[in-house]
Structure 1
Amino acid sequence: MSNYLIKYCFSILMCFTFSVVGLMLSTPVQANTVTAVRIWPADIYTRITIEAEKPILYKMTTLKDPERVVVDVEDVDLNVVIKALSEKVSESDPYISKIRVANFKPKVVRLVVDLKGEAKPAIFTLPPAGDYKHRLVLDIYPTKDPLMAMLDERDNPPQTVDVTANNKSTQVVTLPQSTDVPSVTVDSNVAAVKIDEGAKPANTTTTNSVNAVETTSQTSQTSATLQAEVSKEVPDNKPSSKGLRQITIAIDPGHGGEDPGAIGATGSREKEITLLIAKKLKAKIDEEPNMRALLTRDGDYFIPLHMRVLKARKLQADLFISIHADAFTNPAARGSSVFALSEKGATSASARYLANKENQSDLIGGVSLNVKDPLLARTLLDLSQTATINDSLKLGKAVLGNIGEINKLHKNHVEQAGFAVLKSPDIPSILVETAFISNPDEERRLNDSAYQDKLVLSILTGIKKYFSTNPALAKTKVALD
């Protein structure tokens, strides 16, 4: 009888097991759900972000004539969220003209990104970080970075030649490549302008020497105009009329784009406050006769930490100042702080906490961890940079002392920690925590325009005090190539 019961129970168990397995096989697996889409347009690149409940599977291809990027997002439903992506494209977007979204086949949504010109797409996924779930990130970069193009123009200006009556040699005048005018050969002996072979000018008639001189003059004016435009953004660090070399200061508004930074009790976002303060600081510095400031970002978009460092170095900055308004676990924490880089370790537990938090910005903001940038590897090495750190400490002390006159200080000395954004080997660099946005009273002050103005003046006064005892000398750049 016992054997019969055993066989009976076993048969029932098997039937139950087959029933469960059959039910599992017959029940369709639920598709991934897109929960949010965002577009961050900027001069340096445009970012498209798709956020979903589960890891996102995708395939990307590029097409030409016209320029397009096609992304097939697999195992997702065409819901209202992902459909809204096409409505988020701005007419002023420098790289994207429109986005089309439709079902390519069941459970596959196709995105067709129509571009305004040739571009370089980069696509990658990110695991959950901060308040974000799984993300698919598509970055549309120009074929040449605008900043790098300006620097190339500065370093390799168009060559022009003045033509005089006493000049008996044949000289070539090359116009900037951005114009449609062909290069011309000016021969003062025969007083004529010869058009290069292969060029197709509108008028091929010869001209007299006066017109030849006018052509050269126009060329010089075009070149001068181009150089003036570049000089607005890219300082050349040449002596001013008073014999003082122009000082270049890189201002880095923390966070941006996908990375909001810390968020205050009433919803203030660190990325917005830091940009406001940074723009005000730039305006004040630009009013100084021998100073010029440049921003690592001038809008709401994200820049990886190492790119902020590289931008400052490419611009041959004399100082690097990163602006923040962070939060702490305790909302009662208050006061302003200034940080410099540490080679050995953080000077306090709070400094270590803040450095770790800021260094996670790349993961939250969205940087592909699979991209191996040799410049990144060389720039962020733990270099022996004792002299630069000592200068950073001097700068930090000067700035901290002046900030202390308008706000309580969290610590009365410059703290140190391993902030990745401060790792330039040859630029004194500090990170200014303007106040704790997690403190309700300080959050209110950070949003107050009058307080922002006082804060900016205190930082500028600290910068001027630093240079009064540490004059800007000729730059000696540390090569990383």
Structure 2
Amino acid sequence: MESLTSRGVCVGHHRSDIDPNRRQILRALGALGLATLPLPAAAGARVERLRMSVDGETTRLVFDMEGEAEYEVFRLQSPERLVVDLTNASTDASLEVNDHPRSVIDGVRHAPRNGSDLRVVLDLREAVSPRSFQLMPAQGAPHRLVLDLTRSGSAGTRVEAGEEREPRRGRSQEDLRDVIVAIDAGHGGHDPGAIGPNGTREKDVALEVSQRLADLVEDEWGMEAVMIRTGDYFLPLRERVKRAREAEADVFMSIHADAFPDPSVNGSSVYMLSEGGASSEAARFLAERENQADMRLGGVPMNGRDDSLSNVLLDLAQSGSLEASSTLAERMIDELDRVGKVRRPKVERANFAVLRSPDVPSILVESGFISNPQDERRLRSSSYQQSLAEALLTGLRAYFSTHARPGTLIADGGGMEQHIIRPGETLSGIADRYSVSLSDLRAVNGVNGDTIYTGQVLEVPSRGS
């Protein structure tokens, strides 16, 4: 048996039993009278689900967990297997993953171990180099244990839980990339979109909110914005989708501010592509209205008779983009609800032509209804436009905390250094030491405020030299 182990502790909740290493730390702190908070304790963890994604030579598995758990990962040969032992953990989930032609996973098995632990065995199609790390809860996402399994790589080294070590640099930042957010301001040029009772044009509101969001994304560590429409001109719907794909976007967001025959309809909504019918009459109405833009202004009709579109929809379903789109939309709804009224607390579905991308998670955000006088007034306000953009950025952070593709700065944790917090250290002091901004340090680690714990592992963005 060849053992290849990476070990760690997800911190954040209280533990009922503290291991000997932690007891020694706490006793030392008490004797020294240091003010740094002790490692928090936690009850048993529960694995809620297992997710898989494939990017190039790397298969990523994400364990979504309620609570924390110590874990150990090791490899077995003849046949190739990877074993994940979770201490004081359990699951009621099936922990199955979908078959993927490029995945290194042949099957997943799990069973209780030692009465209180959980063992998960991954049957592998070939030898892999595993890498594991944990992510703290952030922006609605739970504790996560992440395993990256890369074909034909070098083995890692064993790191014991609680072991003190110098910061370790991951892959160089040059090897990784930002996640790319394609931002599409709806309508434009000769197509004003909806017009409010006081003359507010949808195309203007959409462009303003989109530009504000793009500015925020550009300032965000690990993200890059691509504006589909940068000025007041018209783009056919297919061209918008094409530009997003050419930019190799990780997500596509189309920003709108529409109208409805009933002026009392108000509030924001988030839509994704539906393979079938619309989720509501309002969703059907809006989709039909948006899809007519091309036909009104000489673009390519999206009338359902083009066989290539049927193929696109089929590809979309097969690629898993619909599931990712749903998650992205849910994160946006959560954040928009903090800014103002959300018309429906669930993701709406309709056959929007602009969302027909076969491999890019895509959503359409209705920031409000210009046909409603109150919404129109808010949408004209610069401060409200900024609040909308900030909410959408927060939604993007939450989404990418669980769905960033391998090989990106956010997902990989590469291009970073790991820092183990020692007694007496502060978050601002750590930021100064590594010459990074305090806001970046908080965002990368999902930390709100300044509370940190002795022994906690922080990911520190590398700024290069």
TM-score range, shorter chain: 0.3 to 0.5
Instruction: Return the TM-score normalized by structure 1.
Output: 0.46
Instruction: Return the TM-score normalized by structure 2.
Output: 0.48
Higher relative contact order (CA 8 A, sep 6+): 2
Higher helix share: 1
Q: Which has the larger radius of gyration?
A: 1
